[in-house]
Structure 1
Amino acid sequence: MTPRNSVKLWPLFLFAFVCMLSVVIIATKGVLARDLADIRAAGTLRHLGVPYAGFIISKDQGLDVEIMQAFAKHLGVDYEFIATDWVNAIQSLTGKNFTIEGSGVAVTGETPVTGDVLATGLTILGWRKALLNFSSPTFPTQVWLVVRADSSLTPIVPTGDTNKDITLTREKLNGLSVLHKAGTCLDPRLFNLDAAGAKGSEFPGSLNDLAPAVIIGDAEATLLDVPDAMVALQKYPGKIKIIGPLSSEQEMAVGFAKDQPELLAQFNTFFADFKRSGRLAELVNRYYPMLNRYYPAYFAN
């Protein structure tokens, strides 16, 4: 190549390099979460949520919707709800594809980040901690065994010892057909159902449809967490009953990507004030009016 031709081709090389660099920058931005300064600069808080129980009823209604709307106002930015599902929720926040392996996870690749916070009645689980940082706890929960009201199974008599209550409940699983949902707090791997003699069945629908599935006879029983059970007891009075616990008491929280420390800290400060103000208790009473019967002190100012 002659010097004259090199001079002519130099602009083309420069253009190609700039294009390649732009692609790399765009791709990197697509898999990185936005922290506090980025969100304030963008002017919008993107709330990822799965339609579930009283947490996400619609893009404008639900306990977590109203908490995140208040948080966006606290930050001085607009609020945007982004619907997702349990299969893609964590990936959409962290930019990481993964598989669950035992009590941990294996990251298998990258995917675009589409939201800034995951607030959707998210139970704090060991494998989720490998991918997320959780906020201060926002809601109490536990996994219960639920059957039709006319089932011959009778509820356990609480002993005052959660571990003993779990053992009593597990004794009722032998031969029982039980619905569960992998990848959620109702994942059968968390409860060792086979060892108890249960006939587990993966439910293809949403968590909101587990109680109705038992009512119409798709299975004899289902795993159900506290908030979903509260909604089902209100929505289908006299149709289901709680047999007993299959997990210890747990807590839910808001999920943040590992590279969002400032946003997480800001939320924890906001949430402490939100709870002290009585606003949280007001919302809980609206969306979960039966909860105070089971957790009377949890949302105290």
Structure 2
Amino acid sequence: MKRLIMAAVMLFTVAGATAAVAGDLDDIKARGVLRHVGIPYANFISGAGDGMEVELTKMFAKSLGVTYEFVESGGWGVVVQELIGRKVKVAAGKAELLEEAPVRGDIIANGFTVLPWRQQVVDFATPTFPNQIWLIARADSPVKPIKPTKNVAKDIVLTKAQMKGKTVLAMEKTCLDPGLYSLDATGAKVVCRTGNLNEMAPAVLNKEADLTILDVPDALVALDKWKGKLKIIGPVSDKQQMAAAFPKTSPQLLAAYNAFVKKTQHDGTYLALIKKYYPTATRYFPEFFKGMK
């Protein structure tokens, strides 16, 4: 009886340890499943079983000879912990690892912006999408788009000047976190929403606020979905990049993914996905796609 109890305790301990540690390439091949944790967002993950990142990650799983499994994240505030198995506290741009948490995925891929605090706790792969934070308003808003100066820093100053006295939507713990762009110093009334980034543009259309900051992918989707109802005021950030994220304990899986992405960017597969899900992206960011077939 004692042996059975000890065996049960050992099994529980091993299972608990496994739940808190992400696997590398050999572990995933042995398991036979690649777990793609992500958040339905823009055209990366539609929530209906498709999306740019869904298709790309399915192809990656196939290249590894394993089954693809999508795991919907609990949200932007927990997606990193679902990958690395540790809760994360972010303050003043610094990430602090806290207690253990269940690991739910092997890769985050949902239009995940490369941010300094995220780089402290995960490893980013080869960038798969360009990004920038824009200020968006309703088309009938008295706030006018800036006149670009060909200097991003100057354009940001001009754009932020338009926020004074206005209500501006943002979302903490995402790439729209107001602290990343010092929005408090603009004289705007910053309103932090919760929920999904897809809801920011509709909130402005519903007059919940005068303006919203929005990243490029969501802005492109919104401008296409609500043609003539929204306008871009100007940039709030320098140019950024989006990429899949991996645990720092999975260097072989990261290397395999980078090799896979490089292949797709040279055989036409990647650009075909861009044209399918973000047909205007190459027009706004031609330098990012330069040299790809």
When normalised by structure 2's length, the TM-score is 0.96
1:59 and 1:81 in contact (8 A); partners too: no
5 Å matches for 1:51-200? 51-58=40-47, 60-84=49-73, 85-200=75-190
Query: Cα deviation per residue 1:69-91 (whole Å; 9 max; x = unaligned)?
Result: 11011101111111112122111
Q: What letter matches 1:39 in structure 2?
A: I
Deviation at 1:59, TM superposition (A): 5.1
**What letter is aligned with 1:136?**
T
Runs of 4+ in 1 over 2 A off after TM superposition: 14-23, 296-301
Who is 1:4 aligned against? none
Match of 1:234 among 224, 229, 239: 224
Q: Match for 1:208 among 166, 182, 198?
A: 198
Separation in 2, partners of 1:78, 1:206: 28
Aligned residue type for 1:238: G
* Percent identity of paired positions between Structure 1 and Structure 2: 43
Partner of 2:18: 29
Query: Which residue is equivalent to 2:237?
Result: 247
Q: Helix, strand or coil: the match of 1:256?
A: strand
Matched with 2:7 is: 18
Q: Which amino acid aligns with 1:261?
A: P
In the other structure, the counterpart of 2:279 is: 289
Give the number of aligned pairs. Answer: 290
Q: Conserved in 2, the CA contact under 8 Å of 1:59 and 1:65? A: no
Root-mean-square deviation (Å): 1.1
> Aligned partners of 1:27 and 1:225: how far apart in 2?
38
The code of the aligned residue for 2:244 comes to V
**TM-score for both structures, normalised by structure 1:** 0.94
Aligned mates of 1:49, 1:154 — CA distance in 2: 35
Superposed CA offset, 1:174-220 (max 9, x none): 11100000000000111111111010001123110100110110000
Gaps of 5+ in 1: 1-10
Which whole-Å CA distance do the structure 1 matches of 2:13 and 2:119 have between them? 29
* Largest Rg, 1 or 2: 1
Contact 1:50–1:56, Cα closer than 8 Å, also in 2: yes
